[in-house]
A and B are shown apart, each in its own frame.
Chain A
Amino acid sequence: MSKKTKLVDKKGIRTDGRELKDLRPVKLEIGILGNANGSAYIEQGKNKILAAVYGPREVHPRHLALPDRSLLRCRYHMAPFSVQERKSPAPSRREVELSKVIREALEPAIFLEEFPRTAIDLFIEVLQADGGTRCAGVIVASLALADAGIPMRDLVVACAAGKVDGQLVLDLNDIEDKEGEADVPVAYMPNFDSVGLLQMDGLLTVEELEQTIDLALDGCKRIYQLQKEALRGKYLAIREEVQEE
């Protein structure tokens, strides 16, 4: 791995001005699409991602329907303009993989067995990408599912941690992801202390990996609180408005 840029300076400040264990600023919005059953939007640093949920609804094509539970279908897609160099709108190998791992991270959270022979369609559209989009995708997707009124065991959160310039850091951005030593995204359900997604790209020792996972889980717990605030916010705003009248 060739070093081009200095990613962490002597004071432990990263390229975007954060300290090693800081998260990027997160902005969450709920229910922003009129035609979807549930939707959410996230801005995490320079990431901008939309999620939409349709269903549960009839399964088309019919033969995909499962007799004992609902079918969760997930499409993670990056807009052609979401990255520096135009990306082909056709689903790439990477997008197919991310669709699968995001789906598998969310599946255990949903009471799929309550709605056999139906489908829940989930669309995650990355409008602007700056590293860690699979984690941000999981965060918005679970908010969109909650907004759609789909019963869930817990909200699913995700956050990455990794190693950059020899230091363990939280919530990597694009340049840290590309030029750093390692990136470990983790998806997590806090109520059950269960991990639904764990990947590693790069090199870490066993001890470093353990520390990195702990760091990522800590980030998850912080974002979890933001998710809950965002969900409540949608309805609290109306309630306060009415009380003022």
Chain B
Amino acid sequence: MAVVRKFRALVVEVDIHTPEVITYCLQPEKSLPRFRAGQFLHLALDEFDGSGEWPDSRTFSMASSPDCRDRVRITISRVGAFTGRMVDELVIGSSVWLKLPYGEFTFSDPSPVYVLIAGGTGLAPFASYLEHCLENNIADRTLHLFYGVCGPRHLLYCSLINRCEREIADFTLTLYSEAPGIDGARAGRLDAGMIFAECHSPDTCYYLSGPLAMVTSIGDSLRDLGVAHDRIHIDEW
């Protein structure tokens, strides 16, 4: 973790994927502190005067590249009262408080092969990492992205993924969709056994991000298949 800073930010873009899944682009009042792809922020909706007790907040992975210090993007899924308030209250021009950076789910494993396994909005930390790779022409490892969604409307960051397919030499994408309608997608949920069979080598490490049940189940399966504990990185909150 680096030096954590708290600051106000304005909502400058709202991208409604479904009524329950929304991406917000936030413009901080001062330059973002340094963070690493994969880290997360705390977002508070209530007023804060800069001192005293930090108000009620929730954590969200930053989905934009750490190279961009004047904007930060988050994608949320409406799952409870707090995210419900976000969906109901946040419009362009709304003000929120942020504090960041936090988290250890960063892409520092030296392995030459990364298998990125994302479920739903769990794509966010990978979006940050992939954007960072694109912006810095980083192509020092093989990247396999396995991305599972409920259906076509839940497919996020399509243009970024398309860019990765075009511009990163050793990048592969495998989509899983529970509902039909996505060309080339495998039907159903992410399958740890299949991913292992297709990608595993002594050089492979795995990054998992998504709903708790998904990352727990895939993590357990990979361990059962013999993947070493320190080769599996899980974005656990």
Interaction A to B: no
